[in-house]
Every structure is written in structure tokens, then in C-alpha cells.
Chains A and B, each alone.
Chain A
Amino acid sequence: MANTLVEIKHLAKSYTRGGQAVPVLYDITLDIARGDFISLMGPSGSGKSTLLNLIAGIDKPDSGILRIDGEDITKLSEGELADWRASNIGFIFQFYNLMPVLTAFENVELPLLLTNLSKSERRERVEMTLALVGLAERMEHYPNELSGGQQQRVAIARAIVTDPTILVCDEPTGDLDKQSAADVLAMLKQLNEEMGKTIIMVTHDAHAAEAARRLVHLEKGELIGDATSTAAH
């Protein structure tokens, strides 16, 4: 199906701890459509982050199929995977993960260093993107000079500046107050609706999950529920 962007079949993943294999994900099968906004929920330790990391190509499954845009990313070498991530994935983390020694501008410019863009093209892109997240006035600020909500907006700008296909967000509002969380969610929603970004978001917060079009529940490494959000539409 051409509209399926992420195709997951019988995906399994375990970690070894103390010499013993501890299964984290069992037999996950899930399709995510292009342009969807999906929210992954479930109790702590259920494997949400693990699944998200597999989709984002920063971890490798033990078995199963993981195709993104038709490409089986489990077959890519480490270097190929890095290049693939650079052009296809935008990351948004709970604790923003900005470089503290770089300004907002420089943080957003960082992923563009992996492209062929000239300095002036990069500047143009960065300025545009920071304006999009409402931080045009804060370009020269360092992360510690910004509020949590503002830092997360810088992180969103860094995630979208390369125009990736998928945004992966691991508890993007987990460290924010209510108002900032609402702002960030509204922004994600806008990116999904107006720019057609496919978004996969892990969250604990049922309220945050309502921003998504589709909810997926994980429990002890298995998918136990899948519903299309009614509140959002």
C-alpha cells in the first residue's frame, strides 16, 4: 500500500542484562500511514521508547521486518543508517538534548552541516525555521537562557530544519509545564496538518495523546489496543 510509510511485522527486541536476554518487545506488527500522527502509550517499561528507537534507526531489532518508505532499514550498515537518519528522521527528546555551548541558531544549524547547503542557504533555512517556532528573537540565546518550552521549540526547529519525513518524539512534553506543553503539542499538530509530517510520539500523558490522530497502546512489549482518536477530530 503506497500510503503506508512505516511497515512493521513481527518485530522483536531484547536486551541482555547480567548475561541474560530480557525480552522487551514481542512480535510487534504495526503499519503507520504517511501523514499520520500516532501516539504511543503504555506503562513505564512497556517498551515504548524501544519501539520508537527502532523506527528511528538508532537501535536494531533482533528479528522481524521494519520497512520505512519501502526501505528495509534493518539491512543498512551503521554508516548508511546514520546518513538515512540525517535525511529522514527528526528527533525530539524529553530533555531537548540541545548542545549547551551552541546558540539556538547554531543548534538548529547543526544537522544542516551534514547537507550540501552553503552557509547563506543554511542561514536562510535556520532563520525561517526558528521564525516558524516563534523564536526569531531568540536566535543568539544559549539554551540555559531559554525556558523549557522555548528550548523544546528550538529542538523542534532542529528536528524539522532538514525537512525529514518522520518526526519521532519521546515524551516531548514530559518536562514541561501545562502551558508550554500545550504550545508544543499545538506546534506538532500544526506540523502534521499543514506540512504533512508523519509524527510518532511516545507519551505518558493522556491529554497529550489527544493531539494525535491515532493511539496505540503497548503493554509489556505487546500492542494491546489501537484506536483512532476521537477527541482530535
Chain B
Amino acid sequence: MRPARQRIDVYFLKLIFKNVFRAKLRSSLTIIGLVIAIMAFGLLQTVVDAWFAGANASSAARMVTRNAISLVFPMPSYYRDRIKAVPGVKAVAHSQWFGGIYIEPKNFFPQFAVDHENFFEMYPEFLMTPEELLAFKRDRQGAVVGRKLADQFGWKVGDVVPIRGTIFPGEWRFTIRAIFDGKDETTITRQFYFQWEYINEYLKKRFPRRADQIGVFNIEVTDPGRIADIAKAVDAEFKNSLAETLTETEKAFQLGFVAQSEAIVVAIRVVSFVVVFIIMAVVANTMAMTARERLAEYATLKALGFSPKFVAALVYGEALMLSSIGAGIGILLTLPVASGFANSPAGAIFAAFKVSSDTVLMQMACALVVGLVAALVPGWRSARIRIVDGLRHVG
């Protein structure tokens, strides 16, 4: 009669747990490595996510028109009326990158000079009261700022914010007239908007040749399904003119921005996986050393009648427990570290630096793969060890 099937119960888990912490120094170092690797992986994934977050938040009904040569070249302001006349165009506004410095460069946040009459009508995801919006429109030096930005510097409506221009030299003073919230999590609320007329009036006086120039036109279309055709029609309008245009969807425009740094994004992605790969090698090495030291024990278990599967399960269990402990701590630490980074000056360049649930799932998946791969060879060897050979390892 065959004896009962082997029980995999509390006893088994206890054995694995005790085995994990047998070589305390080695296990601790491996776990520290796992914590750092899993955390680094999560943070790097979050950086990539944050990079794309702006593009993903864009509307499918909006396009951006810029100078076909480069973003740094402007277009004449009279293009506005011609764009408006293109069939399918519902509304037109414009915006200009300002690039000023608030007190010191590390306080970086994006600033745009916008068409105050039309811009915010086109961006319903920026939530503010009609009274505040009206106050902004009535004040040439008024500004509209995002909630996160206001919170970062402790600004309130009515505060005066001085900004030193770089592209547009001089000391500029703005009065905050409105603070907007985002419609949802994906809406960026770190920007600073003010009236394009404010700088244009100044340019007219000081540098007339630079006046009446537009950085980009923001266009809303009537039918998002025809957006590609409408974009073509806009560009056709300015074919062979002094400043030819390039019109693309807002998303494509933002991704183009991201694409400029695509090499960096790819590098970050690659590095995040290299980190996981390295820790896989480290854990595999730990498991190989461990299993080699325990050959006599595994041989003894097999002599007592335990199956090769049981021995393999011990090795796999140990590797998985090791990687789960490391990954668990790593995941728990990722959240506070990410939010610490998001609130730091360096993190301010990202709209939403938030660890997504996908990232956490990927961290878990990495831990699982690391554990399984690390146990592969040692598990196979330990299970296959001939009892008499294993027993000769004693002493």
C-alpha cells in the first residue's frame, strides 16, 4: 500500500520561511537588492508614465497649428481669421511659450501667454468659476494658475507674482485672478497662463517687429472624426505663403514633444528592465549557493521518501518567498518615495507623478518572474540529485 500524498501545509511554509533566513547576511543583502531594484523599476516606469500623461490627457477634438519649419518660429497673427474660415473649424485661440523664471530657475513651471478671450472656452477640463474667469479677462496683467502650482507656492487669488522674462526680457508682474482645478486626475494643473496682449503691447512699443506674432494656434474642430482632413485643409490654406504651417492633433503635438526626448524615454525603459535583469542574476546566484549547501539535506529528504517535486517545491518556495519579501517592501516604499519626488522641485516638471496600479502589477510580475527564474536551475539540480551523491556531501 502506498503511503499518503505529501502534505503541503503550514509545516512546509514554516520550513521555507526558516530556510530563507538561515544565512542571515546573504538573505538580507539579497532582500535589500530586491527592494532597491523593484523600487527603481517602479519609479522609472512612473517617470515614463508621467512623460506620456500630458499627451494622454489631450482632447480628440483639438488641433495645434505651428510654423512648419520649427516650433521656435512664429506665425503672423492675421492667420487666425483665415484658420477660422476653414470649413470644420469651430474655434481658434493661440498661445505662446514664455519661459520666464520665478525667483530662481529651479522653481520651473510652464508659462503661456494666451488669447484670453477664447483660450479657456476651448479647455473645459480647467475648472474655474465664471466670476474668476471674467476677472482674468478684465485685467491685462491677470493670470490663471493651476491648483497644484498655486499649492506649491502658496498662492491665492489676488497675489502678485513677479516673473523674469528670458525670451521676452524684463520684469513682469502678474496678479492671480483665477485658480483652476483639473476635471480629473489626468488634467495637468501646474501651468501659469496670462494675457498674450500684455506682452504684445509691450513688444509694440519696444520691439515693433516682434509684435503680432503667434507661437501656436489652438484649434477646436466641429467633427473629431474628420480632424485629419481639417488639419490638411488648414495647412493647404498657407501653402506657399511666407510661413507655412504644420497642423496636427493636440495629442500628436504633445507626443512630438515627448518624441524629442524619446531616446531618453527608451533609455529609461531599457534601464528599468536591466535593473530587474541584474537582480534576477543576484537572486539566482543566492539560490544556487543555497541549494549547493543543502544538497545533503535534500538528499536526506529524498532518502526519507520525499519526492523530487517536494524538493523542487522547497527551492522554488524559498526563491519566491525571498523575492516576495523584497518586492513587497520595495512596492511599499515606492509610493512614499514617488510622492516625495513629486513634491520636490525636480518632480515639478511632471504633471502627474503618480504610481499607477499597472506599475504596481508590473512590479509584482517582476518579483514573480525573478523568483521563478532564479529557482529554475537550482530547483532542477536539487530535485535531480542522486541520493548517494547528495549524502556524500556531508561533513
Q: B297 to A85, Cβ gap below 8 A?
A: no
Once the chains are docked, how many angstroms separate the CA of A100 from the CA of B19?
Answer: 9
In the assembled complex, the CB of B392 is this many whole angstroms from the nearest CB of chain A, namely 9
Question: B15 on the interface (CB 8 Å rule)?
Answer: yes
Q: How many interface residues does chain A have, given as a range?
A: 20 to 34
When A and B form their complex, what is the total count of cross-chain residue pairs whose Cβ atoms lie within 8 Å? 75
Our pick among B11, B18, B308 for the contact of A113 (Cβ within 8 Å) is B11
- Which chain A positions have C-beta within 8 A of B296? 97
Q: A59 to B387, Cβ gap below 8 A?
A: yes
Known: A58-B388, A86-B304, A114-B305. A94 touches B394 (CB 8 A): yes
Q: A95 to B3, Cβ gap below 8 A?
A: no
Question: B22 on the interface (CB 8 Å rule)?
Answer: yes
Q: B387 to A97, Cβ gap below 8 A?
A: no
In the assembled complex, the CB of A222 is this many whole angstroms from the nearest CB of chain B, namely 20
Once the chains are docked, how many angstroms separate the CA of A56 from the CA of B15?
Answer: 26
Q: List residues 154-191 of chain A with CB under 8 A from any CB of chain B.
A: 158
Question: B129 on the interface (CB 8 Å rule)?
Answer: no
Our pick among B7, B22, B302, B305 for the contact of A101 (Cβ within 8 Å) is B22
Q: B307 to A85, Cβ gap below 8 A?
A: no
Known: A97-B297, A99-B297. A91 touches B303 (CB 8 A): yes
Once the chains are docked, how many angstroms separate the CA of A102 from the CA of B15?
Answer: 7
Q: B15 to A91, Cβ gap below 8 A?
A: no
In the assembled complex, the CB of B335 is this many whole angstroms from the nearest CB of chain A, namely 34
In the complex, per-residue mask of A53-73: 1 if CB is within 8 Å of any chain B CB, else 0 = 100101100000000000000
Q: List residues 287-333 of chain B with CB under 8 A from any CB of chain A.
A: 296-297, 300-308
- Which chain B positions have C-beta within 8 A of A85? 303-305
Q: A101 to B15, Cβ gap below 8 A?
A: yes
Q: Which residue in chain A gives the minimum CB-CB distance to B22?
A: A101
Question: B154 on the interface (CB 8 Å rule)?
Answer: no
Q: A87 to B3, Cβ gap below 8 A?
A: yes
Our pick among B15, B297, B307 for the contact of A82 (Cβ within 8 Å) is B307
In the assembled complex, the CB of A146 is this many whole angstroms from the nearest CB of chain B, namely 17
Question: B2 on the interface (CB 8 Å rule)?
Answer: yes
- Which 10 pairs of residues, A with B, have the shortest CB-CB distance? A86-B305, A101-B18, A58-B387, A116-B4, A97-B300, A95-B394, A82-B305, A59-B388, A83-B2, A85-B305
